[in-house]
Amino acid sequence: MTNKNQTALITGPTSGIGEQFALQMAESGYHLVLVSRSEAKLAALSKKLSHAHGVKTHYIIADLSDPEAPDRIFEETSRLEIAVDILVNNAGFDVYAPFVESDWQDTQNLINVNVMAVVRLTHLYLPGMIARNAGHVVNVGSIGSFIPGPNNAVYAATKAFVLSFSETIAEELRETKVGVTCLCPGAVDTAFADKSNLHSTPLFKYTAMDPQSVAEAGVRAMHQNKRVDVPGLVNKVAVYLSRFAPRRLVTKLSKRAMAREE
């Protein structure tokens, strides 16, 4: 895959894995379209990357919990005549609570960001990639794509959807030069975890990876055209073993791994 004059659109690039994706793609010479809710952070990151690496950067302010946001993003890139070659669906958030206690609006927003925006943006940008017979979609899943998550029920379910969706369209595109990768990290030390107060859980205390390493794995998997990549040895082992253990046991252990310490 060449990056000469190619453009990557990255959602959720102002912190964590998304920011590292933006940094690494800019270092490799990709032009960027950065999408997030925070105008100040987007403007600062856009300016920083453009000056540091000589790439063209554009930013679009959008809240992906709004069902209309993906279409507005596509309209803006079309207006600017930007052909998106790499789509990184990274934006996401969590609602950590027993399902029956969770706020419904928060849960609806989670589904909109983690599922609806991923599907709609992919549906909007794939036709151009297919027409050019070049491009790649990177969808950020989770080890929760493989393992149910008590107290994270909807989050884990959305990430299971992202994995199935990614593998399916990757097979549909097998005869083209358009690839799809689902990156499935475990615990990552990011603001995402801070917002959900997850750092006291065993999973985050003992296995959290840094976002730079996760993004590096994602970029590498993209260039290798891997359909699924689980970064980190502990995460690989956990996913592998989950295939053979009884589902009820896997779910019980998952609950313990994500239990906050009082």
Cα separation, 217 vs 215, in Å, equals 5
CB 46 within 8 A of CB 21: no
In terms of Cα–Cα distance, which of 94, 90, 87, 88 is closest to 125? Answer: 87
CB 185 within 8 A of CB 138: no
Q: Count other Cβ atoms within 10 Å, centred on residue 28.
A: 14
Cα separation, 136 vs 165, in Å, equals 14
Q: What is the CATH number of domain 7-257?
A: 3.40.50.720
Token pair 């884990």 in the structure block, residue: 156
Cα separation, 104 vs 89, in Å, equals 23
Q: From the candidates 4, 125, 155, 236, give the one annotated as an active-site residue.
A: 155
For CA atoms 163, 165, 171, 173, give the dihedral sign.
negative
pLDDT at 91: 95
Give the global pTM.
0.92
CB 232 within 8 A of CB 185: yes
Cα separation, 222 vs 115, in Å, equals 21
Residue 155 bears catalytic tag: yes
Instruction: Say which residues have a Cβ less than 8 Å from residue 6's Cβ, sequence separation at least 6.
Output: 30, 31, 85, 86
pLDDT at 150: 92
pLDDT at 137: 98
pLDDT in tens, the chain (262 residues): 456 689 999 999 999 999 999 999 999 999 999 999 999 999 999 999 999 999 999 999 999 999 999 999 999 999 999 999 999 999 998 999 999 999 999 999 999 999 999 999 999 999 999 999 999 999 999 999 999 999 999 999 999 999 999 999 999 999 999 999 999 998 888 766 556 566 666 676 667 788 999 999 999 999 999 999 999 999 999 999 999 999 999 899 888 877 766 5
pLDDT at 195: 60
Query: Half-sphere exposure of residue 97, counting CA atoms within 13 Å on the CB side?
Result: 11
For the chain, how big is the Rg over CA atoms in Å? 18
In terms of Cα–Cα distance, which of 210, 208, 215, 198 is closest to 18? Answer: 215
Cα separation, 69 vs 219, in Å, equals 26
Q: From the candidates 4, 47, 159, 177, give the one annotated as an active-site residue.
A: 159
In terms of Cα–Cα distance, which of 3, 17, 15, 12 is closest to 183? Answer: 17
What type of residue sits at position 146? F
